[in-house]
Structure 1
């Protein structure tokens, strides 16, 4: 039996590989503030680095979500049902609300000090990396 992978499937594999390069390779690399602190020395520089990482994982999340949407649309088309895409959209909305609330909470643990922005950004990166991995793992 010959297997066939569509152009979309091939693109998805290539993009999955590129998205996975931003995920931490070891548990010690999972803390963005620590990753940034290795590269720079001042809190201002760490905050800038964390902010850049927030932007990078945001772009990667957009890609992963696009793959997940494509897969959901394809599944809905094959099954003739309109359930996978709405379920994904509902899941994503709930996840964004959770991420934002959880990261605001983490920031409050710094008592309004200068580290609160770094903590919130690092939280965004960590939770977004986890969401990307979750979305990518759910692809067919």
Structure 2
């Protein structure tokens, strides 16, 4: 991943702390129409995806620094394998959440809310790994 796309750590902190608290993203949207909840959840998901990208970049820098100090490449490789596995888990798990939702019309919102919730958790984990 190119280092030029990295945000400085203070900027990363501002982006990450701007994320809402760990809650159900659909409930954070308030009591509005189904269409407005869908839009709200989609916007939340976009913000989390941006934070996830930045947190992964920061964790990659830290992993590379650790590998450089140890003369190896295991940390970076392990992080990338971990991220790939996590992305697959999120896709399958959230697909299940959507398909198992008791109200078929809300399945898309449930799936996106799942992506956001798991994304927030992964951001927190990646930030811890980059410190």
**Fold shared per TM-score above 0.5:** yes
How far did 1:41 drift? 1.2
- Supply the distance in 2 between the matched residues of 1:86 and 1:23 (Cα, whole angstroms): 31
- Supply the distance in 1 between the matched residues of 2:101 and 2:37 (Cα, whole angstroms): 16
CA deviations on 1:14-46 (whole Å, 9 max, x unpaired) are: 42243122141xx5xx1100001x1x5110110
State the TM-score, normalizing by the size of structure 2.
0.88
State the TM-score, normalizing by the size of structure 1.
0.83
2:56 aligned with 1:65, yes or no?
yes
Question: Tell me, what secondary structure is at the counterpart of 2:108?
Answer: helix
- Supply the distance in 1 between the matched residues of 2:88 and 2:48 (Cα, whole angstroms): 17
Q: Give the paired residue count.
A: 125
- Supply the distance in 1 between the matched residues of 2:107 and 2:55 (Cα, whole angstroms): 28
How far did 1:112 drift? 7.0
CA deviations on 1:91-134 (whole Å, 9 max, x unpaired) are: 00000000011100000112571100000000000000000001
Structure with max Cα Rg: 1
Runs of 4+ aligned structure 1 residues displaced above 2 Å come to: none
Query: Measured at CA, do residues 95 and 81 of structure 1 come closer, stay the same or move farther in structure 2, by a change above 3 Å?
Result: same
Aligned to 2:15: 18
2:71 aligned with 1:80, yes or no?
yes
Question: Tell me, what secondary structure is at the counterpart of 2:104?
Answer: coil
CA deviations on 1:40-85 (whole Å, 9 max, x unpaired) are: 5110110111011111100000000000001011111111111110
| 2:27 counterpart (16, 24, 34) | 34
